[in-house]
């Protein structure tokens, strides 16, 4: 009788061991990037189930569980214009790699390709990709911001020339960067801005930059503003800056 019971017990234990849930990959919550791998999964002899994060954990990602045996097979995917497989599970870094896995085109594909091209020091290619999408001005402005963050002012100026609706805002950013090393060059750049409000914002920003080295000069720049709608007004901000922002490094 005991021998008869041993066989089904062994079978039951074996089935429990086989189908016991095992980790077979994950999806990230808020992925760094993009582009970046957003889903990594291993092979499973049995069946796989995606288990979403618990309540109150929006950025935890999803656990992929295998009810069976996890194999060494590994596949990775990215959300570039839809969930597509990434060869060799390597994040795409160059514009060539991005377009190789994202041949449908679209905002995500060409927008990310533009960012990658700029990082590859190919400004013309970056502009070319931005021009392929409907939101090209936003794409170009993002490239301009990248150039300014790397102190490549002349490249940012080149990008501004390719803009229409966001041109004044682009020039305003260039003017601010120029003013960090030469206030007068920054002010002269503000003169290229057509929109009165954007031009006033340009003067306001440069006044704040100038305040740290010359309060008198900063107040003179405030006088260039035609309609001061800032809160607090430019002059009041300059005179009371360290009271308003006591933790500022320039105070």
Residue 68: which H helix or E strand, with range? strand 62-78
pLDDT digits (tens, 9 = 90+) for 110-129: 999 999 999 999 999 999 99
d(CA 169, CA 192): 11
CA 240, chain centre distance (Å) = 35
Considering the four listed CATH numbers 1.25.40, 2.60.40, 3.40.50, 1.20.120, the one that applies to the domain covering 99-165 is 1.25.40
Question: What residue segments make up the domains of the chain, in order of their start?
Answer: 22-44+62-91, 99-165, 168-251
pLDDT at 245: 87
Model confidence, pTM: 0.76
pLDDT at 223: 96
189: CB partners within 8 A, 6+ apart: 171, 174, 175, 178, 202
More confident residue, 7 or 62: 62
pLDDT digits (tens, 9 = 90+) for 146-174: 999 999 999 999 999 999 999 999 999 99
Q: Which two tokens stand for residue 57?
A: 């954990």
Residue 71 has φ and ψ, to the nearest 5°, of: -105, 175
pLDDT at 2: 54
Whether pLDDT at 9 is above 70: no
d(CA 103, CA 98): 9
In the block, tokens 């295998």 appear at 66
Whether pLDDT at 19 is above 90: no
Q: What is the number of other CB atoms lying within 10 angstroms of the CB of residue 134?
A: 9
């Amino acid at each position: 009788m005991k021998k008869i019971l041993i066989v089904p017990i062994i079978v039951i234990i074996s089935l429990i061991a086989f189908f016991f849930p095992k980790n077979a990959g994950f999806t990230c919550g808020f992925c760094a990037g993009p582009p970046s791998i957003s889903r990594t999964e291993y092979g499973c002899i049995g069946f796989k189930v995606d288990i979403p994060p618990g309540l109150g954990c929006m950025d935890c990602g999803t656990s992929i569980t295998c009810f069976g045996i996890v194999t060494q097979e590994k596949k990775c995917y990215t959300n570039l214009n839809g969930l597509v497989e990434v060869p060799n599970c390597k994040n795409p870094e160059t514009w060539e790699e991005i377009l190789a896995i994202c041949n449908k085109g679209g905002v995500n594909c060409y927008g990310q390709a533009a960012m990658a091209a700029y990082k590859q020091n190919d400004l013309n290619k970056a502009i070319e990709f931005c021009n392929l999408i409907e939101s090209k001005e936003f794409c170009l402005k993002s490239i301009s911001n990248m150039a300014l963050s790397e102190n490549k002012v002349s490249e940012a100026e080149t990008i501004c020339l390719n803009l229409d609706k966001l041109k004044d805002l682009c020039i305003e950013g260039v003017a601010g960067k120029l003013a960090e090393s030469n206030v007068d060059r920054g002010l002269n750049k503000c003169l290229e801005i057509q929109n009165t409000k954007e031009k006033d914002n340009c003067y306001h920003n440069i006044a704040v930059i100038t305040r740290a080295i010359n309060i008198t000069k900063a107040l003179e720049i405030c006088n260039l503003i035609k309609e001061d709608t800032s809160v607090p007004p430019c002059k009041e901000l300059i005179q009371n800056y360290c009271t308003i922002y006591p933790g500022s490094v320039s105070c």
